[in-house]
Structure formats: C-alpha cells, structure tokens
Amino acid sequence: MKWNQRVFGACAAATMFAVMTTAAHADLTNGGFESGDFTGWTQTGDTTFSGVGAFAARTGSYGAFFGPLTTDTLSQTFATIPNTSYTVSFSLSLVDGSQPNSFSWSWNGVTQSPTLSNAAGFGYSDFTASVLSTGALSTISFAFVDPESFWYLDNVSVVANVAAVPEPPVTALLAAGISLLVGVAKRRKDSRR
C-alpha cells in the first residue's frame, strides 16, 4: 500500500507542477508566413499587389509583401489569456519612399505605434510593443497602402510577458483536492487493518 501512496503522491506533485508552469501564449498562426501563403490570416480591402514570396523574407524562406493602391488589411484573431500582458513583435521594411504610402497596426481595434505615413524607404527593422489582452480572443491587424512600391512584413510574434500561474484560489482548490484524495486513500488503508 505504501507504494500506491508514493505513486499517487508523485503523480499529484507532477500534475501540480505542470499546472503551475504552463506558459501563457497566444495561438498566432503562420507569423513568419512560412506556409508560403496567408494561411491563418484574413486579408480585406485592396488585395492586389500583395502576397507572400521568398524575396520578402527577413528570416526563413518567406515574407509577406504589400503594394496596394488603397488600404489592404491583414488580420488574425487568436486565443489569449484575459488580462495578460503580451509582447507583439514584427519585422517591417519599406522598399522605397515613393509617395503616397502608409502603414499602421492595431491590437483589438486600437491603433498602436508605429504608424507611418509618406515614410522614407528603410530596410527591415524590428518593432515591439506591449499590449494587454482583454478577453479569451484577441485580434492583431496590419494596414498598408503603397501604390508605387512595397511594404515587407515578417516574423509576427505574440508572446506572453510572464508565465501563466494559476490564481491563488485555483492553486488552493487543487491542493485541497489532492489533500482530500490522500486522506481518502489513507482512510481506506486504515479501515482494512
């Protein structure tokens, strides 16, 4: 019987450790466009002169390019943990500064920095921002205009700033449940004597 209690205790400890160390993450799909297309993304507006190609890659095999005459929007909705801080990062390039051109991005409908209008051309640059999820789903969106040239986008990532640790009441309930199971197992053992 002692062996069963040890196994039970080890399993309970492993379960508690797994629950407490589960990383918070966002389920963003195809952030590096490595599928070779816009799988996981929704594209709206002027989708002409936009796509995924090897020439637009910052890293990996593919990157996205956008040269629409009017606004082309690329967005994705994915699972997040409510009231959790996330770091959004992406790589952006403007092939040349021909005007007009514009770029903006938003998190859950709120425009974030940077926003660029009639920008000079620049090579790939990395941008990061901290955002807060407000629900179980969040949406990231990018908007482009560049009838004379192209924007390049690659390496879109959304990562939690901290590991998700269960709130104290959840941890307390888990510990109470494990204690109850251990108590039941001990009582059964004692009643068999």
Tell me: pLDDT of 19 over 70: no
The pLDDT assigned to 20 comes to: 44
End-to-end CA distance of the chain: 12
CATH fold for domain 24-163: Jelly Rolls (2.60.120)
Give pLDDT tens digits for 21-62.
Answer: 444 557 899 999 999 999 999 999 999 999 999 999 999 999
Quote the distance between the C-alpha of residue 33 and its chain's center: 14
For 172, counting Cβ atoms within 10 Å of its Cβ (0-12 exposed, 13-18 middle, 19+ buried), the class is: exposed
The string of pLDDT tens digits covering residues 155-193 is 999 999 975 555 556 565 566 667 666 666 677 667 666
Other CB atoms closer than 10 Å to residue 99's CB: what's the count? Answer: 14
Q: Where are the domains of the chain?
A: 1-22+166-186, 24-163
Higher pLDDT pick, 3 / 116: 116
pLDDT of residue 158: 97
Model pTM?
Answer: 0.74
Average pLDDT, the chain: 85
